[in-house]
Amino acid sequence: MRQIKLPETQVPLQRLHDPLLQTRGVAVSVLRLDLIHPWISGNKWFKLRLSLEQARREGRHTVLSFGGAWSNHLLALAAAGREFGFGTIGMVRGEVPRPLNPLLQAAEDFGMTLVSVDRASYRNKLSAEFLRDVYAEWGDIHVIPEGGASFQGVLGSMAIADSVQWSEPLASPRIVTLATATGTTLAGVVAGLGADVSVDATLVLKGEDRISAQVRDWLALLPRRPHAAWQVLQGWHCGGYARSAPELVQFMRQFTETTGVPLEPVYSGKMMWSLYARIASGEIPEGAEIVAIHTGGILPRGH
């Protein structure tokens, strides 16, 4: 079987040229994690890698995880299964739509077995009773939580910080910004950065208290050392996970026309929307340098 490793590539750090940024005296670069692999892209690779390595060590040949009908996590897992020789099972919240949407179709094309789970059962998907039935039906499998939200996912996400670079030697403050839903990538990035950087995480769903508590719990499990200050930004979720708004769609269109960087409405769009609003309002001061982490979620063309 192939070693669980993507080809060595330098993650592109793309400087943005935008009249707003020039007017406000703020430097913004985008860490293009969306370009590291056509399918196992963004933060998904970092959250999956250590779990796949564990499955390989334990001799497990099939990996199972959970997600909604538009789960980029399931797609990335399906692609990783094909790449590294694992069977994959995706337990989908609610009905599996037929015909399949482009994302689930791609996952099935990679060999993933899609299983519908009613919403009441899905809420208890990590309970001992539910998992007992899963193991009874599917045998010797390795289970990864939804979205790769595990301590292994946090440890893997720490490597994202290695690609954060600064071009302005005297910039102050230095800010890393990203979108967050489970807090997994946020915790890893915070732990991987030094204390001279702050991290702003745009929450893409409701429930800031729960996410912040989870991040604190994960950080408490890591060796004590100075790490980046961090905050979770509320008010940009448009009513909930995967919800949108005309203002968000308009911003994304204009942003991509100006910068050439594609966005999607669930994660990267909301992150950039909140960032630009805070720059425009003066909340982010002149002289700041920002690295915005693009966590992927954009299907390759033709899918």
pLDDT at 301: 63
Confidence of residue 110 (pLDDT cuts 50, 70, 90): very high
pLDDT 10s digits, 230-274: 999 999 998 888 888 999 999 999 999 999 999 999 999 999 999
> How many Cβ atoms from other residues are within 10 Å of residue 17's Cβ?
11
Confidence of residue 288 (pLDDT cuts 50, 70, 90): very high
> How many Cβ atoms from other residues are within 10 Å of residue 270's Cβ?
27
Helix (H, G, I), strand (E, B) or coil at 68: coil
Given the candidates 3.40.50.1100, 3.40.50.620, 3.40.720.10, 3.30.930.10, the CATH classification of the domain at 13-38+152-294 is 3.40.50.1100
Q: Kindly tell me if the per-residue pLDDT of 21 is higher than 60.
A: yes
Q: Kindly tell me if the per-residue pLDDT of 83 is higher than 70.
A: yes
- The whole-number average pLDDT for the span 157-177 is 92
Sign of CA dihedral 30, 32, 33, 39: positive
Sign of CA dihedral 178, 233, 226, 287: positive
Residues 6+ apart with CB under 8 A from 21: 27, 28, 279
User: Residue 13 class from Cβ within 10 Å (0-12 exposed, 13-18 middle, 19+ buried)?
Assistant: middle
- The whole-number average pLDDT for the span 124-142 is 95
- The whole-number average pLDDT for the span 46-71 is 96
pLDDT at 48: 97
Q: Kindly tell me if the per-residue pLDDT of 9 is higher than 90.
A: no
Structural domain spans, the chain: 13-38+152-294, 43-150
For 43-150, give the CATH class. alpha beta
Do domains 13-38+152-294 and 43-150 share one topology? The answer is: yes
- Residue whose entry in the numeric block shows the structure tokens 């102050």: 172
Q: What are the distances in angstroms from CA 79 to CA 134, 148, 152?
A: 22, 15, 19
pTM, full prediction: 0.94
Confidence of residue 283 (pLDDT cuts 50, 70, 90): very high
